Structure 1
Amino acid sequence: MTAADRIRILTVDDHAVFRDGIAAIIAPQPDMLLVGEATNGAEAVDSFRNLRPDVVLMDLQMPVRSGIQAITEIRALAPSARIVVLTTYDGDVQAVRALKAGACGYLLKSSLRKELLDTIRIVHGGGRYVPAGVAQQIAIHAAEEPLTSREISILELVAAGKPNKVIAWELSLSEDTVKAHLRSVYSKLDVNDRTQAVTTALRRGIIAL
């Protein structure tokens, strides 16, 4: 198999050790070739534009520009781009965001080597892949009413440790309005207090620290 026939891969992650690990997994594969690396979402878009890889392995939580932003921009450049998210977060909300942005696959960094290689081949062949556990969480929460942008903003400030009075001042709301939004958040997330709301929202990828 010539270099032109191999699956050309771009890996995007801000951790050098992880990029090195991916390179070590790809190197022995006769049908794959690592053509580039990027350390953030902005570099990912530039590298894609210059290299035009067949498959992009994309982290989500990165400096400068997030993985979701990079996926959106790459798909705008090339609607047929094949992108696989590689993340430590198994939250259903984050997975849905990535897939809606244009990702064709969603994998956890804890996935086995074989699952990663199989996913690259599946996505390159035009398929899609989401692990069973993540797909199940997406299905479980699919019928639930999502949090509004205002509720998410308030929850992010709660996660930052700010009291209702400060949140109200920062968002130009009354304190009673903040409390009403929080009651709605508790109901939608099926939790009883601020701590549970933040924990659940972080786990599902609704907010990030």
Structure 2
Amino acid sequence: MDVALRAMDARLQATLKTMGHKVLNVQQDIKQMSKSVYKTERNMDLILPHFKVSLPTELPAAFPIKDGEELKEMDQLVKSDSGVFKQIVKALVGVGGNTIDEFIRRTMPRLMKNEFAKCCSVFGKKDDKIRLKDTVIFNSVFAAVKMNFATKECTEKDVESSMRKWLQTSRDRAGRSRYGQKKRQERDNATI
């Protein structure tokens, strides 16, 4: 009987020791997560000082932008009122994404219409394309990418590359490609 109690006591002590380690691990994880949240909040304050609004903030009513004239107007508004830029960035950070491509894919449709995206490129190298590089669209997306916890390590080059891919596929999203036309026809034929 005494041996059985000792064995049971040893097992109980081993279980308690294991549970104690698990509790310590959970406490350490919580501590790391709170540090991460603190760093994210601190980074937001450094990038956008003196601006306290809880996420998500709504984009201004002018979005999504439909043409080059609206883009110029928005650029002028942002130059005259920095609060608008901060509002746009906060709203985009709230949209989020786990990768740079996902972030761009989720935020760009909120900033510009697909029809307008077909007329744009990051650098505007072709004569008929509108350059986005130095506009409110590119600058706000880049600032939001740097504030997003999952994409904060991305460089300007990464944003340019991902945005270029998104802009290049605007024709496909509009159903202008052969594949898109074929898919639309199949869908229309299936519903008849």
What TM-score comes out, normalization by structure 1 length?
0.29
Which structure has more strand as a fraction of its residues? 1
Which structure's CA Rg is the greater one?
2
Structure possessing the higher relative contact order (Cα contacts under 8 Å, 6 or more residues apart): 2
